[in-house]
Structure 1
Amino acid sequence: MYYFLFYRRPNNVCWCSFLPTERLNTICRIVLLQHPAEEKRSLRTAAMLDNSLAPGSCLVFKGKKFPQAKHVGLLDIINDPNTILLYPSKNAVPLDTLPKVKDLDSPYNIILIDGTWPQAKGIYHNTQSLHNIKQAKLLGHTKSEYVIRTQPTEGCLSTLETAAEALSILEEIDYRQDLLRPLKALCNFQLDHGAVTHQSLEARIRTSAYPKQIGKRLSRFLKELEASDNS
């Protein structure tokens, strides 16, 4: 099986059969700026997204700074007035306050930074061109279904979940069930084979369940996320 070879998961724990029967033809386009380290992660969710959407509906550009010469077409996307960056910066507006796709002349390009939160922050600060794009953030969403990985805060979502929420809100079509099915299957497979559910780092610190002393960098990072969610 192609997916088995590519993702190196045994057939009995492969999530491929949980992908949509037919790839989803979304109106908007998802654009992932992927940190190189993500490609080595066996539990990443970007592959689920890429294999769930129709060809051309999910573009993946790899690097630590964007755009570079190898990122063909990315500069045009960044300069498109209907491009938005999903990132919780101080200038980000709630995503649900943006016009819906039906009210636009052309659909959105939705840029997501794919990596750990520190990696995403590094890409954002190293890529000045992203600062000029309209920035948006998700508010009031449900708790992450990615229960086998520790998220920084209760409000953090995986790349797949973020894309599902954004597409559902902007297109007013609920893609969540179809897109999240392979993620739920993956988590169930892992839990059945010895994995445990994870609380967010924020929750573990709040309940004194985090065994390590919090450094200044981590403390500052969590405060920045909290401030963004409250703004």
Structure 2
Amino acid sequence: MLRYCPQCFKAKRACICQWITSINSRSELIILQHPSEEKRPLGTAKILQLSLPSTQVFIGEDFSDDTALNALLADDSVRTCVLFLGEQSQPLEQLDQTHDTRPFRIILLDGTWKKAYKIWTLSTNLHKLPMVQLPTDLEGDYRIRKAPTSNALSTVEAGYHILSILEPEQDFSALLFAFNQMIEFHISQMPPGVFERNYE
């Protein structure tokens, strides 16, 4: 008997597939995931990958010579940007979609801030891309993992906000539903008082 779900790769009892809803979007998400995040039971990139058929996930630290990723970066039929906070970052909601009507492809770095920064530093092929940022007043709800600041977002929350900004006519709330169900399941598995003592 398999111990892990063959689709979400989480333990059978923690399978998230029952909460996943397939969503079609015009925009694409590319996730560059640090190896340490790949098998985390609370990793949220898998929600995006299962919910959005066009989402692709690459595992590693240095993607400079990744052939498949570089082929995507060379595709000028889409507007490729990387979600990364820096001096040159532009607010995502202010990007002009009137004159340039190509669909967006947004790259997310999946890992702690330190690990995401390492991916950014090593992957020199990302440095030529426009950098975008989400509104700074957004607050994350990743209440089962310690966050450095209240506006630190999980990967699925970032994906939800990106898509909601780029495609406001579309409803992406199913992403947050799956996220919250996953969190509630893990809280329910904790011994009484552990969550309140460690996370509230």
Q: Same fold (TM over 0.5)?
A: yes
The 3-state SS of whatever aligns with 1:113 is strand
The 3-state SS of whatever aligns with 2:102 is coil
Moved more, 59-68 or 161-170: 59-68
Cα RMSD of the aligned pairs, angstroms, is 2.2
**Which blocks of at least 5 consecutive residues in structure 1 are unaligned?**
200-231
Paired with 1:30 and 1:59, the residues of 2 have a C-alpha distance of 7
TM-score by length of 2: 0.85
Letter in 2 for 1:46: A
1:207: which partner in 2?
A: none
Quote how far apart the aligned CAs of 1:148 are.
0.3
1:171: which partner in 2?
A: 167
Paired with 1:92 and 1:117, the residues of 2 have a C-alpha distance of 16
The 3-state SS of whatever aligns with 2:160 is helix
Q: Does the alignment pair 1:135 with 2:135?
A: no
Per-residue deviation, residues 108-158 of structure 1 (Å, max 9, x unmatched): 110001111111000111112211100011114532121101112111101
1:99: which partner in 2?
A: 96
Q: Which aligned runs of 4 or more in structure 1 are off by greater than 6 angstroms?
A: none
**Which blocks of at least 5 consecutive residues in structure 2 are unaligned?**
none
Q: 1:9 to 1:128 in 2, by over 3 A?
A: same
Moved more, 157-166 or 77-86: 77-86
Per-residue deviation, residues 33-80 of structure 1 (Å, max 9, x unmatched): 1111111211100111100012xx1011111111324x42x1132244
Which structure shows the bigger proportion of residues in helix conformation? 1
The 3-state SS of whatever aligns with 1:4 is coil
Moved more, 78-87 or 124-133: 78-87
The 3-state SS of whatever aligns with 1:152 is coil
Q: Is the 8 A contact 1:93 1:137 kept in 2?
A: yes
The 3-state SS of whatever aligns with 2:82 is strand
The 3-state SS of whatever aligns with 1:44 is coil
Letter in 2 for 1:77: L
Paired with 1:65 and 1:173, the residues of 2 have a C-alpha distance of 36
1:211: which partner in 2?
A: none
Q: 1:103 to 1:25 in 2, by over 3 A?
A: farther
The 3-state SS of whatever aligns with 2:56 is strand
2:145: which partner in 1?
A: 149
Letter in 2 for 1:151: A
Paired with 1:183 and 1:63, the residues of 2 have a C-alpha distance of 24
TM-score by length of 1: 0.75
Where do residues 26-175 of structure 1 align in structure 2 (5 Å cutoff)? 26-54=25-53, 57-69=54-66, 71-72=67-68, 74-80=69-75, 82-100=79-97, 104-175=100-171
Partner of residue 8 from structure 1, selected from 6, 11, 18: 11
2:20: which partner in 1?
A: 19
Letter in 2 for 1:89: G
